[in-house]
Amino acid sequence: MQAFLWQQGEFLLRILLAGVCGAMIGYERKSRNKEAGIRTHMIVAMGAALIMIVSKYGFGDLLGKEGVALDPSRIAAQIVTGVGFLGAGLIFMRKNTISGLTTAAGIWAISAIGMAIGSGLYLLGILTAFVILLIQITLHSNHKWMRETYKEDVCFVIEKDKKNIEDLQKRLQQLHMEILNAKVVEKDDCYHVDFVVNYPKNYDADVLMKLFQEISYIKELDV
C-alpha cells in the first residue's frame, strides 16, 4: 500500500511540475496580451503529462495476458495531433500580417515539455521550459535589433491632386518603405490611397503617424 501511494504521489508531482512549467511560459504570453495565457498553457502541460503517465503506466494490469500487445507510444502520439488543432486555432491573418505563430509554437512546445516530465524526464523538461522562456523574453520583436521587415496596409485620404500622390510615394520611399502595391480611389473631392508596404526593421508607428499628420494635404491616416 505504501509503495502504491508513493507511486501515485510521484505521478501527481510530475503533473504539478508540468503545470508550473506551463504557467511560466503562459505568464510571458499573457504579459504580451496574447490569445493563450497562463490557464491554457497549464492545462495543456498538465494534460500532456497525465496522458503520458497513463500511456506509460496505465495498462500494467494487461501485460502478460494472452493475445494482448501494447504500444505505449500510440496514446502519447495523439497529444501531438490534438495540440496541432489547438495551435491552429491560435493563428490569425489580419490584412497582410499573420499573428499567433509564436503562441501556437509555445503551446506545441509546452505539450512536449509535459510529455517529458510525465515520462519521468524531469531535468530535461524543466530546463527546456527555461530555455523557451528565455527565448521568448530575449528574442522578442519588441527589441529593435530583432525586428524584420513585414507587410502592412497604410491608408490615406488626401486632397484631390495627383502631385500629392507622387509626393506621398516619395515620402514613403524616403522612410525606406518598399511600396508593394497601390490603389487609388477617387471620392468626392478626395483621393483614397491604399498602399501595401514593407516596413523597415526600425519602424515606429508613432513616428510615422506624427510625420504624416504634419502634412497639410493629408486629411486622414490609418496604419
Show me where the domains of the chain are located: 2-140, 149-222
Higher pLDDT, 37 or 223: 37
Its sign, for the CA torsion 174, 176, 181, 185, is negative
What would the mean pLDDT of 115-123 be, rounded to a whole number?
91
The answer to whether residue 29 scores a pLDDT higher than 80 is yes
Its sign, for the CA torsion 125, 127, 128, 130, is positive
What would the mean pLDDT of 9-23 be, rounded to a whole number?
92
Q: What CA–CA distance (Å, rounded) separates 120 from 53?
A: 9
Q: What CA–CA distance (Å, rounded) separates 96 from 99?
A: 10
Question: Residue 18: what pLDDT?
Answer: 93
What are the C-alpha distances in Å from 157 to residues 5, 165, 179, 182, 214?
71, 10, 17, 13, 14
The answer to whether residue 68 scores a pLDDT higher than 80 is no
Q: Are strands 150-159 and 92-94 parallel, antiparallel or unpaired?
A: unpaired
The answer to whether residue 198 scores a pLDDT higher than 90 is no
Q: What CA–CA distance (Å, rounded) separates 119 from 138?
A: 30
Does CATH number 3.30.70.260 belong to domain 149-222?
A: yes
End-to-end alpha carbon distance in the chain: 66
Summarize pLDDT for 86-107 with one digit per residue, the tens. Answer: 777 766 655 555 667 788 888 8
Confidence of residue 60 (pLDDT cuts 50, 70, 90): low
The answer to whether residue 17 scores a pLDDT higher than 90 is yes
Residue that has been written with the C-alpha cell 493629408 in this structure: 218
Question: Residue 86: what pLDDT?
Answer: 74
